[in-house]
Amino acid sequence: MSHDITSPVTQLLNQHNIPFDVIAIPLSEDKKPIRNLEVFLEAQGRDPNSVIRSLLFKTGTGDFILLAVAGGGRADWSVLRKHLDERKLRMAEFSEVEEATGYVIGAVPPIALPDSIRVLVDDSLSAYNEVIIGSGVLGYALSLSVSALNNLLPQADVGKFIKI
């Protein structure tokens, strides 16, 4: 089934002639992505660990940092603080996510973000040929090659930022 969606993310991918697949993700009655996303993706023959989570942090100086991480790894706070040279670092508040990124939780991509957001890419992405990212539209995700995604993130810092 083909789904046509338009967002800054799809526009960026199209602008760079990057092929991608749109994945429709069923929403629950309260308009939240389904809780069993892993089962849903496996049923489609996709690796649920290839989903890139976009984790938004706020520094003590008020800057926003987005960490793109594959699978279920948890942010290594001490590594992040040291890398960013920040003593204070916290997860962004629910209301801050849309305000800072322009996207709602559940649809935040690691690309097509405001220039003010610094992006960090965990090296966990390198374990996959294809990854799944937020589309910018709730209820949809995009599948694309990890090399194409990395090409769109030339300014991103790449490193080991998670604990397994």
- Tens-place pLDDT, residues 106-161: 899 999 999 999 999 999 999 999 999 999 999 899 999 999 999 999 999 999 99
pLDDT in tens, 48-90: 999 999 999 999 999 999 999 998 889 999 999 999 999 999 9
DSSP secondary structure letter of residue 138: T
Evaluate if residue 27 carries a pLDDT over 80. Answer: no
106: left (phi over 0), alpha (psi -120 to 50) or beta: left
Name the residue among 145, 121, 140, 139 with its Cα closest to residue 50. Answer: 145
Evaluate if residue 2 carries a pLDDT over 60. Answer: no
The CATH architecture to which 8-163 belongs is Alpha-Beta Complex (3.90)
- Mind giving me the DSSP string for 66-86? EEEEETT-EE-HHHHHHHHT-
